[in-house]
């Protein structure tokens, strides 16, 4: 059973502060290049901005923050950069988890983790376990994640669990098997770095999410920039298929 309602099955409740923000943190390499630094310097700086984004969510009462850290296609990068990204991930887990725990943050990692080294897999497992009792903010890191991978792994697991219903599966049957089954669908999607594409991020879950694209590179995406995205979100009219008139209709007293 899904804990949260699906935007295509029923109109979800919305609030001024988004409940779930999902971010493609893009532009680290270009940030470094502009400063004549190696690309990895951009990734190092990027980790600092992750801390800032987490703090901003805690202060603003946002319950879910989901960050795209490494896509299923990022293995195509030069081996050296992939290795450095993995090292940064390991270091961040070693250094940050305790502090996350103290701040009431629950850490989750989604993606095909079996492709990572055993040390990293073990660190992920421990970090999730250590923070499992927290609920103030759920911080989800998408690592070796791809939206198509997610949908396929869910279909394959559903096929194993309910073969008798083959040919008659519903959205509601699939949803419990998706990687983000523990969270409401994102209200706000942010992509930094100027590209306006999804790059195989949360394909299923973004069905009715509001999109915000900014040319600001991720290492420059500070709290002020974060608040601009929230302000933009607050101006949107989320209709979920209905007309604008339906949203402003005054329901007469019975």
Q: Which residues bind ligand IPE (CB under 6 A)?
A: 24-30, 68-71, 74, 85, 193, 195, 197, 199
Pairing of strands 64-71, 20-24: parallel
Give the nearer residue to ligand IPE in terms of CB position, either 17 or 88.
Answer: 88
HSE, side-chain direction, 13 A CA sphere, residue 7 = 18
Give the nearer residue to ligand IPE in terms of CB position, either 24 or 105.
Answer: 24
* Active-site residue identified among 74, 103, 181, 200: 74
From Mg ion, ligand IPE, none, interface partner of 71 (C-beta below 5 to 8 A by class)? ligand IPE
The answer to whether 185 contacts Mg ion (rule: CB under 5 A) is no
Task: State the Cα–Cα distance between residues 244 and 161, nearest whole angstrom.
Answer: 41
Could you tell me which of 236, 221, 169 has the C-alpha nearest to residue 65?
A: 221
Among 23, 25, 26, 183, binds Mg ion (CB under 5 A): 26
Give the nearer residue to ligand IPE in terms of CB position, either 120 or 158.
Answer: 120
Task: State the Cα–Cα distance between residues 141 and 130, nearest whole angstrom.
Answer: 16
Could you tell me which of 160, 158, 186, 183 has the C-alpha nearest to residue 172?
A: 158
- Give the three-state DSSP class for 119: helix
Give the nearer residue to ligand IPE in terms of CB position, either 8 or 199.
Answer: 199
The answer to whether 191 contacts Mg ion (rule: CB under 5 A) is no
Catalytic residue at 222? no
- Residues ≥6 apart with Cβ < 8 Å to 218: 25, 26, 27, 28, 31, 42, 46, 49, 192, 193
The answer to whether 225 contacts Mg ion (rule: CB under 5 A) is no
Which H/E stretch holds residue 65?
Answer: strand 64-71
Give the nearer residue to ligand IPE in terms of CB position, either 65 or 158.
Answer: 65
The answer to whether 217 contacts Mg ion (rule: CB under 5 A) is no
Tell me how crowded residue 42 is: count the other CB atoms within 10 A of its CB. 21
Q: How far is the CB of 210 from Mg ion (least distance, A)?
A: 22
Catalytic residue at 220? no
Q: How far is the CB of 89 from ligand IPE (least distance, A)?
A: 10
- Give the three-state DSSP class for 178: coil
The answer to whether 40 contacts Mg ion (rule: CB under 5 A) is no
Catalytic residue ranges: 26, 74
Q: Which residues are near Mg ion by CB under 5 A?
A: 26
């Amino acid at each position: 059973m899904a804990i949260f309602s699906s935007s295509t099955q029923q109109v979800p409740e919305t609030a001024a502060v988004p409940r779930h923000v999902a971010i493609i943190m893009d532009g680290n390499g270009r940030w470094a290049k502009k400063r004549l630094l190696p690309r990895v310097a951009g990734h190092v700086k990027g980790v600092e901005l992750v801390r800032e984004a987490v703090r901003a969510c805690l202060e603003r009462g946002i319950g879910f923050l989901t960050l795209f850290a490494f896509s299923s296609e990022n293995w195509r990068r030069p081996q050296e950069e992939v290795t450095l990204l993995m090292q940064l991930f390991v270091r961040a887990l070693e250094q940050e988890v305790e502090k996350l725990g103290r701040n009431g943050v629950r850490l989750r990692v989604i993606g095909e983790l079996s492709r990572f080294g055993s040390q990293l897999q073990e660190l992920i497992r421990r970090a999730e376990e250590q923070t499992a009792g927290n609920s103030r903010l759920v911080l989800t890191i998408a690592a070796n994640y791809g939206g198509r991978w997610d949908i396929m792994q869910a279909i394959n697991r559903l096929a194993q669990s309910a073969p008798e219903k083959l040919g008659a599966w519903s959205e509601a049957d699939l949803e419990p098997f998706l990687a983000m089954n523990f969270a409401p669908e994102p209200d706000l999607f942010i992509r930094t770095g100027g590209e306006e594409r999804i790059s195989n991020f949360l394909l299923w879950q973004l069905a009715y999410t509001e999109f915000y694209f900014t040319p600001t590179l991720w290492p420059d995406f500070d709290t002020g920039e974060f608040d601009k995205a929230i302000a933009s979100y607050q101006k949107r009219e989320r209709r979920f298929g209905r007309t604008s008139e339906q949203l402003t209709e005054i329901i007469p007293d019975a």
